Chain A
């Protein structure tokens, strides 16, 4: 009889002192310094083979006035124009030659120029990055050649209907500053001059409004670079206007069979305790599907609206925070025929929460979702860079992920209910796009 199966495999003696292979030294802590001229430098040495460096500036479309709308958009596209130290051709080729990349990301309140490359070539790309942010020449003919790109950029962005609705929402909700569109208005394409770009940079790219952040680079190098090269413009530059919330509505009638609508009130300021409450409320109500093609069981909004209509729809809570204001509300996508029902059902859900219809379990679930979302967003080096940069700009400090998670945990159910009450009682703003025959006006809600 062959008892092969009974033949026990020879035991491999595993040595209890087997050498562990270390892939790379453990990441150091984040170091953050604030120079006397106001520039904040933050770096995280994680010994990764690539480095990512970003220059964050507290500027954006909110710092435009009606006479120079669209400047921030063109500036966003102008990152590869000739600078004092390198021609446009050289910037492109130089960065490509080392396998790096330069990108610009801008919101209404901040602009971030970031480069990433292999560690060995950090000096090269850093030189280009500093050139682009501090010494751009905005040559007249290059700026003129760039203007058609504004149209293309805007057209690509507006393919996504959400972008158009959110632009309208901000224009409806605010009187100034935050009402400025992120994308250049059509009448300004071709009219933005090199002087306006220069002016915008002179007034906004000042040391006290900038932060230099690096991941995968050591702090002393970054500090040296900052002291030598980013010390050009001091002062606070032109102060932005304080955003004034007005609460209006903008409706755009198109032939679309899907109606996109957003209804908000003034929300919380970045970093305030209220902001955390609103974020938790956002997840209590439902902030987007967590399981693809799932039924969003934990989303109060989705469940509430599903009872009211049978046709496909999408609804989620909308929450955004700025340095002196915020917006909180709902965003719905519905069939044109029952847009009204969807919106009313969604608003009723928030009313239910405001009247105390939320359990501690709901709040705990929401907190977990919020924490998970936040922590997952800082797992990539891009997300982490963005997070460090944004926080450096706002407060010059860095909150560790565990501290942030704690802050989220400290939100009480009562705070969530209060946030919902604030929404119900606040002055509303609305933006809607699509076939709006059945979409109610603000005063009908």
Chain B
């Protein structure tokens, strides 16, 4: 139990050190857009997709002005949820299935 909490604290420290939350971004906003991510993005429900676009636009604006958000608007480690992860998992599963079939 103690070990678990250590890892958690490390994680939280690393999240804050990475700094993208100061631009108002969530972890899944920063993913590199390869083919799997692109396909998963196509499957996002509309409200999640619009929220993502807004966050990215805001972050681009801030970086252009060399600013960051005020501290109370930073994304908290606890509030950051991996919204895109289930879709990516499904896309990768489908791709593996296709590859397995094509190998046969």
Contacts and interface: CB of A to CB of B under 8 A. Distances in A.
B43 A87 contact: no
A227 to B, nearest CB: 30
B43 A89 contact: no
B94 interface: yes
Contact of A89 (B42, B45, B94): B94
A141 interface: yes
A147 to B, nearest CB: 15
Nearest to B102: A93
Interface residues of B, number: 7
B25 to A, nearest CB: 25
Contacts of B8: none
Classify chain A's interface size. Answer: under 10
Contacts of A191: none
B94 A87 contact: yes
Contacts of A140: 43, 45
Contacts, number: 14
Contact of A90 (B42, B45, B97): B97
Nearest to A145: B42
Given A140-B43, A141-B42, A141-B43, A93 B101 contact: yes
B98 interface: yes
B43 to A, nearest CB: 5
Nearest to A93: B101
Interface string A64-92: 00000000000000000000000101100
A87 B42 contact: no
A139 B45 CA distance: 11
Interface string B83-102: 00000000000100110010
Interface in A100-145: 139-141
A141 B97 CA distance: 19
Contacts of B101: 89-90, 93
Contacts of B42: 141
A87 B42 CA distance: 18
A90 B45 CA distance: 25
Contacts of A90: 97, 101
A289 to B, nearest CB: 48
Nearest to B98: A89
Contacts of B98: 89
A375 B99 CA distance: 48
A429 B102 CA distance: 56
A141 B46 CA distance: 11
A330 B97 CA distance: 54
A321 B97 CA distance: 46
Contacts of B43: 139-141
Nearest to A88: B94
B41 to A, nearest CB: 11
A139 B90 CA distance: 12
Contacts of B94: 87, 89
A143 B94 CA distance: 17
A280 B97 CA distance: 56
B56 to A, nearest CB: 21
A90 B100 CA distance: 11
A123 B95 CA distance: 26
Contacts of A89: 94, 97-98, 101
A259 B101 CA distance: 52
A29 B14 CA distance: 74
Interface string B22-41: 00000000000000000000
Contacts of A141: 42-43
Nearest to B95: A89
A74 B94 CA distance: 24
Given A87-B94, A139-B43, 10 more contacts: A89-B94, A89-B97, A89-B101, A90-B97, A90-B101, A93-B101, A140-B43, A140-B45, A141-B42, A141-B43
Give 3 nearest A-B pairs by CB, closest first.
Answer: A141-B43, A93-B101, A89-B98
8 contacts: A87-B94, A87-B97, A89-B98, A89-B101, A90-B97, A90-B101, A93-B101, A141-B42
